[in-house]
Amino acid sequence: MLAAGCAAPPKAVSKPPPLVVPGVAGPGRSGGSAGSAGTAGQADGSGGSARAGSRGTVLLGGWAPGGARNAVAAGSLAYFRWLNARGGVYGRRIVYRVLDDRGDARLIPSLAHRLVQGAAIFAVFGAAGAPGRSTASFLNLSGVPDVFSGTGCRCVNAPRSLPDIFGWPVGGRIEGDILGSYLAQHDGGRRVAVIYARDQADRAALAGFTAAARGVKVAVSEAIPVTSDASAAVASARKARASEVVVLAPADVTSAVTKALAASHLHLPVVASDSGIASGLPDGTITDSFLPSPGAPAKSAAASWIALFRRIRARFLRSEPMSADLIDGMSQAYEMASALFRAGPQLTRQGLLTALNGMLPGPSAAPLAFSATDHGGAEGAYVGTIKAGAIVPSGGVLIGAVTSASELTAYTSAQQAAPANGIPAH
């Protein structure tokens, strides 16, 4: 007891141990370690492997049909490779692990557990589709941010109950409002057939469209659960003597509808949702978008983003055709890089969430609804027509309230031009 009582006190620690943040390894610009990610051996945005002891890494995770081969994910990976080749974010490379969900929402909970508990990711980024209640709750309880979620479902916009989830595309209600307003202005008096998906985002789009399409006669409204029902939906449009078809559904459903129209020799104008992210729409299709398009006017801010994305594609994705999906992925990745820079060298998950609030829209033509009370993503879009595979804008940007039905207003602020080096200001 005497020996124990006379033991020398522990030596004072001159420097506190670094904060351990899952998914973050290596120094920020300040030179200190930001924690251990355990990312060795993961494929990263530079095409090699992430070595935690070299420059440092930030490990992101997500899921999409086809995994890293998905065009949206490929676009994000290409941008991160561009970013990493130019120093990354405060000296850390971005490592992006994308798992294949095979287009089956039932797989998402297990994929989320693999990424969070197995890979110890810093954040979920750009995951396709709505995460589902169980996955959203798991991520929320785990304190893992889910940012730039690839769905227009209002279910992800719940800052009070799900403070760590931030959306990306235009919400279904706003998109329906915008397309309905366009038809009311340009195609009033026409008989239209509305084909919509049963998910929450597209039901919201239907409500917005119905409310905004004043003077437009909805001859038939057909719910379509799967793409195999496209022929039946088109037959309903023919029977109703519709002169125009409105499709409020994911891209694969829209594609099936346009093919069914062609097969039935029913040549009707098509108005499609999905925020211009749907690739492969036939020429003449009217749709909306919040992202830059190759069809944008030359020397515009939107054209500067397309020029940047073409440079990135030429460097890292030469075999992949330029598409709306590729542009979507690169735009998301740019915004993610911007948020990481805003979060500062000593990166934490809470720092990322704080940085997202009030972010500039970057490639987006509309402002981002990122605030303490709204996590809905892009607040609006412009309408255009598909020509040579690209959207040619036919009007300005309209915005609405993501969290409630409201009148649309014109967005008059100038779009941000792409930085010359493709790296967000910091």
Tell how far CA 342 is from the center of its chain: 19
Q: Which residues of 121-130 are buried (b: 16+ CB within 10 A; e: fewer)?
A: bbbbbbbbbb
Structural domains in the chain plus CATH codes: 24-170+299-379 (3.40.50.2300), 172-274 (3.40.50.2300)
For range 222-248, the mean pLDDT: 89
pLDDT of residue 276: 54
pLDDT of residue 59: 98
Q: Which residues of 179-199 are buried (b: 16+ CB within 10 A; e: fewer)?
A: bbbbbbeebeebbbbbbbbeb
Q: How confident is the model at residue 82 (pLDDT cuts 50, 70, 90)?
A: very high
pLDDT above 60 (res 419): yes
DSSP state of 106: G
The set of residues, in sequence order, having a beta carbon less than 8 Å from that of 68 and lying 6+ positions away, is: 43, 74, 77, 98
Q: Measure the CA–CA gap between 177 and 218, rounded to whole angstroms.
A: 15
Q: Measure the CA–CA gap between 195 and 266, rounded to whole angstroms.
A: 15
pLDDT of residue 407: 81
Number of neighbours of residue 218 by Cβ within 10 angstroms: 16
Contact (Cβ atoms closer than 8 angstroms) between residue 198 and residue 248:
no
Q: Measure the CA–CA gap between 421 and 11, rounded to whole angstroms.
A: 49
pLDDT of residue 339: 97
Q: Angle at CA 25, nearest 5°, toward 19 and 31?
A: 75
Q: Which of 31-45, 107-121, 221-235, 327-341 has the lowest mean pLDDT?
A: 31-45
Nearest to 292 by CA among 284, 301, 280, 279: 301
Q: Measure the CA–CA gap between 197 and 248, rounded to whole angstroms.
A: 7
3-state secondary structure of 184: helix
Contact (Cβ atoms closer than 8 angstroms) between residue 93 and residue 57:
yes
pLDDT of residue 19: 59
pLDDT of residue 27: 64
Distances (CA, A) of 142 to 2, 23, 118, 167: 47, 13, 13, 19
Q: Which residues of 233-264 are buried (b: 16+ CB within 10 A; e: fewer)?
A: bbebbeebebbbbbbbbbbbbbbbbbebbeee
**Tens digits of per-residue pLDDT, 371-405?**
888 888 899 999 999 998 889 999 899 998 755 55
For range 175-197, the mean pLDDT: 91
User: E-assigned strands of 277-413?
Assistant: 286-289, 368-370, 375-378, 380-387, 390-393, 397-399, 409-411
Per-position DSSP letters for 130-181, written without gaps between them? ---HHHHHHHHHHT--EEEEB---GGG--TTT-TTEEE-SPPHHHHHHHHHH
Sign of the alpha-carbon dihedral angle for 18, 22, 27, 29: negative
**Tens digits of per-residue pLDDT, 108-165?**
999 999 999 999 999 999 998 878 888 988 999 999 999 998 876 767 777 888 889 8
- Predicted TM-score (pTM) of this structure: 0.87
Contact (Cβ atoms closer than 8 angstroms) between residue 176 and residue 248:
yes
DSSP state of 405: -
Residue found under tokens 């981002």: 368
Q: Which amino acid is at 30?
A: S
pLDDT of residue 143: 94
pLDDT of residue 315: 97
Contact (Cβ atoms closer than 8 angstroms) between residue 169 and residue 152:
yes
